[in-house]
Amino acid sequence: MILLDGTTLANEIKQNIKIQTEILKKQDITPGLAVIIVGDDIASQTYVDMKSRACDMVGIYSIIHKMPSNINEQKIVDTIKMMNDNDNIDGILVQLPLPANIDENKIIQAINPQKDVDGFHPFNIGSISLNTDGYIPATPYGVIKLLKKYSIKLKGQNVCIVGASNIVGKPLMSLFVNEYATVEICHIHTKDLKAHTIDADIVCVAVGKIGLITADMIKDGAVVVDIGINKDSDGRLTGDVDFEAVSKKCSYISPVPGGVGPMTIAMLLENTIKSAKKRKTDG
């Protein structure tokens, strides 16, 4: 069994981004990322702080707009429009989830698709489906990058994705299809989950349920990508896979923490640099 080390690869990517940022700054372009966070969810605040520190590390300018949970929806839209018009901002992301009183789709669609570095705007989701140039959601992007780093075959492989969210499962399905893999996607209403995972060459799980994938659900030699992030009864981070048991049966597996998580932030930074380069070209 080989660990899919996302931490090391993410650090390599960040170092490359730092070099690209320095080159852009010499051309009077400082890449800029703006983040909106609504409410006081602790997990969301932690993620935003991590993104901010990562930006500082590679030289990307970042700004955080903190808003109360009871804010008027239109004020969020107005803030986004202001950043859409700001030439110094290359990337805009809204930290999800949003409070129940806010229409998530309306907020995401207010972002200029050319600055949607989270890749959640319908334009960019459509670009993935058509396999044309756009911004790929950071977590699915990170999964594919990680698998390719280890030269894991994707073409012709049977892939089972557990979790059909708009953020991870659905775009990841499109990315695998673009690599000519054969993909099926499972969700909360899937009957007999094991019947789908047991024959898969690659199993990706992003549900948020500790120990969902057990050793008897994985065939010998499968590749397992654990995208779930949970906290166990002792407060330790863990994924959706029974790591101890599954790791004895599979060929590759991503740990939690240290697997897909670090890749997500690295890919967000990469999308931001991509946008900054477009600003240079368009300018």
Tokens (6 digits) for 189: 């209403």
Tokens (6 digits) for 214: 């057990």
Judged by phi (left if over 0) then psi (alpha if -120 to 50, else beta), residue 55 lies in alpha
Annotated catalytic sites, by residue? 51, 95, 118
According to DSSP, the β-strands at 32-38 and 91-94 are: parallel
Per-residue DSSP letters for 13-67? HHHHHHHHHHHHHHTT---EEEEEEES--HHHHHHHHHHHHHHHHHT-EEEEEEE
According to DSSP, the β-strands at 237-238 and 230-231 are: antiparallel
Separation CA 29–CA 23 (nearest Å): 9
64: which strand partners? 35
Tokens (6 digits) for 203: 């199993």
Residues 6+ positions from 136 with CB-CB distance below 8 Å: 119, 124, 128, 171, 175, 267, 271
- Work out the burial of residue 156: count CB atoms within 10 Å of its CB; fewer than 13 is exposed, 13-18 middle, 19 or more buried: exposed
What sign has the CA pseudo-torsion 176, 179, 180, 181? negative
Beta-carbon count within 10 A of 42 CB: 7
